[in-house]
A = this chain, B = another copy of it.
Amino acid sequence: MKFFAGVDGGGTTTRCVIFDQEGNISGYGKAGPANYHAAGSAVTGDSLLTALQNACATLPPGYEIEGLFLALAGVVSDKDKRIILELSQFLLQKFTINPGNIQVNHDCQAALTGATGGTSGIIVISGTGSSCYGENGQGESWMAGGWGYILDDLGSSYYLGQQALVSCVQCYDGRGPFTILLREILHKLGLQRVEELMHWLYFPTLDRAAVAGLAPLVIQAAEADDSIAQNIVKKGARELAVMVKAVAEKLNMRAAEIKISTAGGLVNEAAYYRRAFQATLGEMLPEALLINPFLPPVIGAALLGYRQAKGIISPEILAKLNCQQKLLD
């Protein structure tokens, strides 16, 4: 029997979904991180293996995976893709996979395909990091943002946390105005003095997730009317909208194509932040339509595996998958 598989690998979790020719979800598995830049090749390979093993456990004997799509965070350049393709060759020995239909790309493509069901649109991802990716009706794609925390991640949880820390030290040393973030952040981190922030931040090494973990404090302070926190939120939301606008312009998208979906904990779960994004998007790109994702990224990845093998994605498959998506956690 023939199946189609997708892997969505991120900085902390890797998911795998497998469905059959009718769109019945037949397998689902999870594993650890699969961003090979951050976690290394060995861990990434291990996560791919484990996620696939867990998903294949429920397949019938004699199964065959007709198409496999690996959607992985940190896969940006052609060099990244080559490295991951080589790395994943060992999967052919462990599973029955059509070797001609293995594809690798960044995780944004799978998130967009899931969100729109494979039609044109733009996805904005804002969790620990941030990026934006779009596809138009002419088969063209473009990405903005996603250049990592030193140059980018604008509008992400990391950005909110980092900007909050900047506001704290500048408030303390006299360059910036008062903000309740200073008290709140020291309290949350259990620190007595501002100078101790440097130890927390730099030693032994920068923990980006810990900085991103300050984002909820920023949202709270903004809700409590702290104008500095409100500015940080506004700037972050604006940066996300700037990414969307850049992608829409690069792809010469028609108004009907500018369906925007979002992924990632910050923009999807923090209502205050999502409203700020929606407001600035309305100003900057009035023709854009914010939609709820039709399917989660991991099913988007499996759909890309399906499309690689079959050429197209039928509405029946999409509808069937949509009914089952609640099965996944």
Contacts and interface: CB of A to CB of B under 8 A. Distances in A.
Interface of A: 37, 76-79, 142-145, 147-148, 150-152, 162, 165-166, 169, 173-175, 193, 195-199, 201-203, 206, 211, 242-243, 246-247, 249-250
Contact of A77 (B145, B198, B242): B198
A150, A165, A169, A201 — most chain B CB neighbours (10 Å)? A150
Nearest to A163: B151
Nearest to A211: B150
Contact of A201 (B151, B193, B199, B242): B151
A143 to B, nearest CB: 7
Question: How many identical subunits does the complex contain?
Answer: 2
Contacts of A243: 175
Q: Is the interface of A mostly helix, strand, loop or mixed?
A: helix
Contact of A145 (B173, B202, B203, B250): B173
B246 A77 contact: no
B77 A195 contact: yes
Contacts of A162: 150-151
Contact of A76 (B144, B152, B198): B198
Given A151-B162, A193-B77, A246 B175 contact: yes
9 contacts: A37-B202, A78-B195, A142-B174, A147-B198, A150-B162, A150-B201, A151-B166, A151-B197, A151-B201
A168 to B, nearest CB: 8
A165 to B, nearest CB: 5
A203 B151 contact: no
Contacts of A202: 37, 148, 150
Contact of A165 (B76, B151, B242, B247): B151
